[in-house]
Structure 1
Amino acid sequence: MDTRHTEGAAEFTLPRSRSANERLHALIPGGAHTYAKGDDQYPEDLAPVISHGRGAHVWDVDGNRYVEYGSGLRSVSLGHAHPRVTEAVRRELDRGSNFARPSIVEVEAAERFLATVPTAEMVKFAKNGSDATTAAVRLARAVTGRPRVARCGDHPFFSVDDWFIGTTPMSAGIPEATTELTVAFPYGDLVATEELLTRYQDEIACLILEPAGHTEPPPGYLEGLRALADRHGCVLVFDEMITGFRWSEAGAQGLYGVVPDLSTFGKALGNGFAVSALAGRRALMERGGLRHSGERVFLLSTTHGAETHSLAAAMAVQATYAEEGVTARLHALGERLAAGVRDAAAGMGVGDHLVVRGRASNLVFATLDERGKPSQEYRTLFLRQLLAGGVLAPSFVVSGALSDADIDHTVDVVADACAVYRKALDAGDPTPWLGGRPVKPVFRRLV
Structure 2
Amino acid sequence: MPTEDSQELHLPRSRKANERLHAMIPGGAHTYAKGDDQYPENLAPVISHGRGAHVWDVDGNRYIEYGSGLRSVSLGHAHPRVIEAVRRELDRGSNFVRPSIVEVEAAERFLATVPTAEMVKFAKNGSDATTAAVRLARAVTGRPRVAICGDHPFFSVDDWFIGTTPMSAGVPAATNELTVAFPYGDLAATEELLTRYQDEVACLILEPATHTEPPPGYLTGLRELADRYGCVLIFDEMITGFRWSEAGAQGLYGVVPDLSTFGKALGNGFAVSALAGRRELMEWGGLRHSGERVFLLSTTHGAETHSLAAAMAVQTTYVEEGVTTQLHTLGERLAAGVRDAAAGMGVGDHIVVRGRASNLVFATLDENLQPSQQYRTLFLRRLLAGGVLAPSFVVSSALEEADIDRTVDVVAQACAVYRKALDAADPTPWLAGRPVKPVFRRLS
Normalised by the shorter chain, which TM-score bucket?
over 0.9
Contact 1:9 1:385 in 2 (8 A): no
Cα deviations across residues 310-343 of structure 1 (Å, max 9, x unaligned)? 0000000000000000000000000000000000
Q: How does 1:237-316 map to 2 (within 5 A)?
A: 237-316=234-313
Give how far 1:199 is off.
Answer: 0.1
Give the unaligned 5+ runs of structure 1: 1-5
* 1:49 is aligned to 2:46: yes
C-alpha RMSD of the superposition: 0.6
Number of positions where the alignment pairs a residue of Structure 1 with one of Structure 2: 442
CA contact (8 A) 2:110 2:312 kept: yes
Q: Structure 1 CA distance, aligned partners of 2:317 and 2:283? A: 30
> Which residue of 2 is the match for residue 208 of structure 1?
205
Residue aligned with 1:53, SS: strand
* SS of residue paired to 2:7: helix
Residues 9 and 46 of structure 1: CA distance in aligned 2, closer, same or farther (over 3 Å): farther
Looking at structure 1, the residues matched to 163 and 7 of structure 2 have their Cα atoms a distance apart, in angstroms, of: 40
1:98 touches 1:306 (CA, 8 Å); kept in 2? yes
Which residue number corresponds to residue 3 of structure 1?
A: none
Which 5+ residue runs of structure 2 have no aligned equivalent? none
Q: Does the 8 Å CA contact 2:261/2:274 hold for their aligned counterparts?
A: yes
- Asked if the contact 1:369/1:425 (under 8 Å) is kept, the reply is yes
User: Secondary structure in 2 aligned to 1:10?
Assistant: coil
Q: Is the 8 A contact 2:151 2:184 kept in 1?
A: yes
Tell me the residue number matched to 2:428: 431
CA distance in 2, matches of 1:8, 1:122: 54
Q: C-alpha distance in 2, partners of 1:41/1:11?
A: 18
Partner of 1:110: 107
* Secondary structure, counterpart of 1:11 in structure 2: coil
Q: Measure the CA separation in 2 of the matches of 1:70 and 1:196.
A: 35
Per the TM alignment, residue 10 of structure 1 is displaced from its structure 2 partner at its CA by 4.4
Whole-angstrom CA distance in 2 between matches of 1:91 and 1:445: 46
Q: Contact 1:188/1:221 (CA < 8 Å) preserved in 2?
A: yes
Aligned partners of 1:209 and 1:237 also within 8 Å: yes
1:377 and 1:439 in contact (8 A); partners too? yes
The TM-score with structure 1 as length reference comes to: 0.98
> Which digits, 9 at most, give the CA deviation of each residue in 1:121-141, with x for residues without a partner?
000000000000000000000
Aligned partners of 2:337 and 2:408 also within 8 Å: yes
CA contact (8 A) 1:79 1:401 kept: yes
For residues 9 and 430 of structure 1, the distance between their equivalents in structure 2, rounded to whole angstroms, comes to 19
Residues 381 and 434 in structure 1, CA contact (< 8 A), matched pair in contact too: yes
Q: Structure 2 vs 1, CA of residues 133 and 182 (structure 1 numbering), >3 Å: closer, same or farther?
A: same
Partner of 2:68: 71
Shift of 1:8: 5.2
Whether the 8 Å CA contact 1:8–1:385 is kept in 2: the answer is no
Is contact 2:240-2:248 (8 Å) kept? yes
Q: Deviating runs (4+, > 3 A) in structure 1? A: 7-10
Asked if structure 2 preserves the Cα contact closer than 8 Å seen for 1:208 and 1:237, the reply is yes
- State the TM-score, normalized to the length of structure 2: 0.99
1:386 maps onto 2:358 in alignment: no
For 1:148 and 1:9, locate their aligned partners in 2 and report how far apart those are by CA, in whole Å: 54
How many Å separate the matches in 1 of 2:214 and 2:33?
Answer: 26
Work out the CA distance in 1 between the residues paired with 2:291 and 2:418.
62
Q: CA deviation at 1:12?
A: 1.5
For the residues of structure 1 that align with 2:228 and 2:135, how far apart are their CA atoms? 21
2:350 is aligned with 1:350: no
Give a deviation string over 1:22-43, Cα, whole Å, max 9, x none.
0000000000000000000000
Deviation at 1:402, TM superposition (A): 0.1
Q: Residue 119 of structure 1: CA displacement?
A: 0.1
Where do 1:44-443 residues align within 5 Å?
44-443=41-440
Preserved contact between residue 9 and residue 384 of structure 1 (Cα < 8 Å): no
Measured at CA, do residues 250 and 7 of structure 1 come closer, stay the same or move farther in structure 2, by a change above 3 Å? closer
CA distance in 1: counterparts of 2:317 and 2:90, whole angstroms: 20
Distance in 2 (alpha carbons) for counterparts of 1:14 and 1:422: 26
**Contact 1:186/1:193, CA 8 A, preserved across alignment:** yes
Shift of 1:377: 0.1
Query: Residue 382 of structure 1 contacts residue 421 of structure 1 at CA under 8 Å; is this kept in 2?
Result: yes
CA–CA distance in 2 between the matches of 1:439 and 1:11? 17
What are the superposed Cα offsets for residues 176-218 of structure 1, whole Å, 9 maximum, x if unpaired? Answer: 0001100000000000000000000000000000000111100
Q: CA deviation at 1:242?
A: 0.1
Aligned-pair CA distance for 1:7: 6.5
Match of 1:9, SS? coil
Q: Displacement of 1:11 after TM fit?
A: 2.8
CA 1:403 to 1:145, structure 2 compared with 1: closer, same or farther past 3 Å?
same
Amino-acid identity (%): 90
SS of 1:188's partner is coil
Counterpart contact for 2:4–2:410, Cα < 8 Å? no
- For 1:185 and 1:269, the matched residues in 2 are separated by 28
- SS for the counterpart of 1:436 is coil
Q: Contact between 2:39 and 2:380, CA under 8 Å: does it hold in 1?
A: yes
> Post-superposition shift, 1:9?
6.1
| Residue 172 of structure 1, CA deviation | 0.2
**Given that residues 352 and 372 in structure 1 are in contact (C-alpha distance below 8 angstroms), is that contact kept between their aligned partners in structure 2?**
yes
Give me the whole-angstrom Cα distance separating, in 2, the residues matched to 1:191 and 1:291: 39
Determine if contact 1:238/1:262 at 8 Å carries over to the other structure. yes
Mapped partners of 1:167, 1:33: distance in 2:
21
- 2: CA distance between counterparts of 1:119 and 1:108? 18
CA deviation vs aligned residue, 1:271-322 (integer Å, no higher than 9, x gap): 0000000000000000000001110000000000010000000000000000
1:212–1:7 distance in 2 versus 1, CA, 3 Å: closer
Q: Is the 8 A contact 1:139 1:284 kept in 2?
A: yes
